[in-house]
Amino acid sequence: MIATALHRALADPGPPALRPLPPRAVELLLTLDAPPRLGAHLRAVHDVAARLLDWLRPAYPRLDVDHDAVLFGAATHDIGKTIHPEELSGPGSRHEPAGRELLLRHGVPAELARFAASHAGWDRPAMSTEELLVSLADKILKGRREPGLETLVVGRLAVAGNEQPWEAFMRLDDVLDGIGAEADARLAFQARYPTG
Ligand SMILES: [Fe+2]
């Protein structure tokens, strides 16, 4: 098989070192012949989500969160940009409902397809902790801090950790600073791959 730019984006060992996507996400992206830039972006967001989960597991063992759902959501959240590739390099939200519909059409269960529609709407009511974490990973990827989103995450952490919100914020802030420090390397990784 000829290694296309998409194959390379999905297998690129870095730098920065990024974990491989879940096999089902890789299969979907290859089936859809996703733009290479999208593959690279999903690798980067998935890796940030994995790093957040690596921290959460021991730091907040009582936080009720489905790790596999977060990882799949991070790995597919922008998949609607295969239908609306202009939103890879410009603004737009048409990829959000389109992405959810696309995943459902490919047999992905609704609880895993929801991230494609919700990742930019973290201020909507009834966002699950899993959805907030995917939204957070999508921001921290580029070192962007989003106080409203972080406040929502801190609320979940403080309850799970039985601690004051400011304590949870201090811990989260350290982790986000650390992950955010590598934003330039992740953005450079994405930029190595074409949008079309
Ligand atoms: Fe994204």
How confident is the model at residue 196, as a pLDDT? 84
Q: Under a CB-based contact definition with an 8 Å cutoff, are residues 9 and 196 in contact?
A: no
Q: Is residue 196 part of a domain?
A: no
Distance 109 CA to ligand 1 centre (A): 20
Longest Cα–Cα distance in the chain: 55
pLDDT tens for each residue of 32-67: 999 999 999 999 999 999 999 999 999 999 999 999
Residue ranges of the chain with per-residue pLDDT less than 50: none
With a CB cutoff of 8 Å and minimum separation 6, the contacts of 97 are 80, 117
Quick check: is 77 in a domain? yes
| C-alpha of residue 62 to centroid of ligand 1, in Å | 28
Q: How far is the CA of 41 from the centre of ligand 1 (A)?
A: 7
Which residue segment(s) compose the domain that 92 sits in?
5-191
Q: What is the pLDDT of residue 125?
A: 87
Q: Is residue 38 in a domain?
A: yes
Q: Any idea what the CATH number is for the domain that residue 62 is in?
A: 1.10.3210
Residue 179 falls within a domain, yes or no?
yes
Q: Are 12 and 26 in contact (CB under 8 A)?
A: no
The alpha carbon of 78 and the centre of ligand 1 are apart by a number of angstroms equal to 5
- Domain total of the chain: 1
Ligand 1 geometric centre to CA of 162 (Å): 31
- Report helix, strand or coil for 152: helix
Question: How far away, in angstroms, is 37 Cα from ligand 1 center?
Answer: 11
Residues with CB under 5 A from ligand 1 (ion): 78, 138
